[in-house]
């Protein structure tokens, strides 16, 4: 196959994998709350939801390995522990969230059914597909993503050109930082680390391209996918901001439904609901299958381990998926405040030239990131201000980003020390 054509195929695959159906409920409310400051919140959101994930893809283009290779320079044991945590979070939060989004967008407005019943049916079907692999889902995915993108572009275009009232000011205390933290909820940095390995393996199995060709294809595809994500996210954030004086809500799903009804009418909203339900389902199957594959590999290709993991993943999905989207997003915050910073530094270190990202740099920066992420994580389980005596001395800690400066100083300090040793 022509490398250019293959690049576009990979770019579309990356976009589809990054733009999960759950992601589209995040930007509108972010823009709604940011109001006239929406460009600043978009910039923050783009850093954590687009730029960092695309850098993860570039890192994979260089490594051409698996998830474990991203953390191996810290230590092989750490790489396994990190991988287990990443997949445990994936199967416990974003996977169940797909059922919750499906219920609120596609079931509750039209049918009398409890969220628990829907969640049970939903993950029973997920288990069937995970245990009996089929190409049907991948074929469906090829048509789903273009249709969802088309509908979203229509909603954005009609909404932004409508006669709307002036925007209110932002409700955020730190618009840029809040945009970054909201981007955590997309799980896309984690997705980049996981999905990038899948893309690398898929290209390797074709056996048609050498290392440099694959590196260039993956890197270019990442840029194209990132450009597409910026357009969609930016449009949805701007749309939410445009309607923050005419719509009154604090519910992510409700806002998206109202925006789609305002621009497309009830039929368009219903159609979007069906597409979102199907897209959510393919995402859930992908997460459960990917997690089961990871455990299978760790246990010496044990099919029993694969089956048990898939069953456990679906049980967790039923238990968590019955709750509303807002609750699942709130529950995800502390876990993301811990694992996302670690993921970000691993991505950044893997894209830097090797002379600046030695194994020692990996170890020091990762350890500092973990240590200074603990207050952000623990703070969610304590009374507000309980850690003030500690966090007041950590720059950006009050913004939920206390790890940034220590990690940066650790990176600079170790590199200066190593340079001094080489010179000496």
User: CATH number for the domain including 17?
Assistant: 1.20.1740.10
The Cα–Cα gap between 376 and 392 comes to 12
Give pLDDT tens digits for 303-313.
999 999 999 99
Q: Do 144 and 209 fall into the same domain?
A: yes
Q: Which residue has the tokens 């709130």?
A: 330
The sign of the CA dihedral 255, 261, 267, 268 is negative
Q: Do 282 and 329 fall into the same domain?
A: yes
- On whether the CB atoms of residues 101 and 22 are closer than 8 A, the answer is yes
pLDDT class of 141 with cuts at 50, 70, 90: low
Q: Which of 340, 371, 406 is the last residue of a domain?
A: 340
Question: Tokens at residue 166, please?
Answer: 């002036």
SS3 per residue for 101-122: HHHHHHHCCCCCCCHHHHHHHH
The pair phi, psi for residue 75, each rounded to 5°, is 175, 150
- pLDDT at residue 80, as a whole number: 94
Q: Do 162 and 253 fall into the same domain?
A: yes
- pLDDT at residue 359, as a whole number: 94
CA distances from 154 to 180, 259, 263 (A): 27, 11, 8
The Cα–Cα gap between 258 and 181 comes to 25
* Residue 165, SS3 per DSSP: coil
Q: Do 321 and 375 fall into the same domain?
A: no
Would the pLDDT of 215 be above 80? no
Number of domains into which the chain is organized: 2
Q: Kindly state whether residue 134 falls inside one of the protein's structural domains.
A: yes
CA neighbor of 59 nearest in space, from 357, 372, 406: 357
The Cα–Cα gap between 337 and 349 comes to 19
CA neighbor of 26 nearest in space, from 317, 282, 332, 246: 332
Would the pLDDT of 139 be above 70? no
Report which of residues 255 and 133 the model is more confident about: 255
Compute the average pLDDT of residues 68-90.
93
C-beta atoms surrounding 113 within 10 Å: 12
């Amino acid at each position: 196959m022509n490398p250019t054509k293959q690049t576009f195929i990979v770019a579309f695959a990356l976009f589809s994998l990054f733009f999960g159906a759950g992601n589209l409920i995040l930007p509108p409310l972010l823009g709604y709350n940011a109001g006239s400051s929406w460009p600043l919140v978009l910039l923050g959101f783009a850093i954590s939801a687009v730029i960092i994930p695309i850098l993860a893809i570039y890192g994979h283009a260089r490594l051409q390995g698996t998830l474990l290779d991203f953390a191996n320079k810290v230590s092989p044991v750490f790489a396994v522990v990190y991988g287990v945590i990443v997949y445990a979070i994936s199967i416990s939060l974003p996977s169940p969230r797909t059922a919750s989004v499906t219920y609120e967008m596609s079931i509750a407005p039209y049918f009398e059914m409890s969220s628990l019943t829907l969640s049970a049916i939903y993950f029973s079907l997920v288990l069937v597909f995970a245990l009996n692999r089929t190409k049907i889902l991948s074929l469906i995915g090829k048509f789903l993503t273009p249709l969802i993108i088309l509908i979203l572009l229509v909603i954005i275009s009609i909404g932004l050109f409508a006669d709307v009232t002036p925007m209110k000011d932002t409700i955020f205390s730190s618009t840029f930082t809040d945009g970054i933290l909201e981007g955590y909820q997309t799980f896309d940095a984690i997705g980049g680390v996981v999905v990038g390995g899948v893309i690398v393996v898929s290209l390797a199995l074709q056996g048609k391209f050498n290392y440099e060709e694959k590196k260039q294809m993956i890197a270019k595809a990442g840029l194209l996918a990132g450009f597409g994500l910026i357009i969609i996210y930016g449009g949805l954030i701007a749309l939410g901001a445009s309607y923050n004086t005419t719509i009154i809500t604090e519910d992510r799903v409700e806002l998206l439904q109202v925006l789609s009804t305002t621009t497309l009418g009830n039929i368009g909203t219903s159609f979007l609901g069906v597409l979102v339900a199907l897209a959510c389902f393919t995402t859930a199957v992908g997460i459960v299958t990917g997690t089961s594959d990871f455990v299978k590999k760790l246990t010496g290709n044990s099919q029993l381990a694969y089956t048990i993991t898939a069953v456990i993943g679906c049980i967790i999905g039923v238990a968590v998926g019955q709750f509303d989207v807002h609750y699942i997003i709130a529950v995800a915050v502390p876990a993301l405040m811990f694992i996302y910073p670690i993921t970000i530094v691993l991505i950044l270190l893997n894209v830097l030239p090797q002379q600046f990202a030695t194994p020692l740099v990996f170890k020091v920066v990762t350890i500092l990131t973990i240590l200074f992420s603990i207050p952000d994580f623990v703070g969610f389980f304590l009374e507000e201000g309980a850690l003030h005596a500690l966090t007041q001395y950590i720059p950006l800690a009050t913004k939920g980003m206390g790890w940034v400066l220590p990690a940066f100083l650790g990176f600079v300090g170790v590199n200066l020390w190593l340079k001094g040793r080489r010179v000496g």
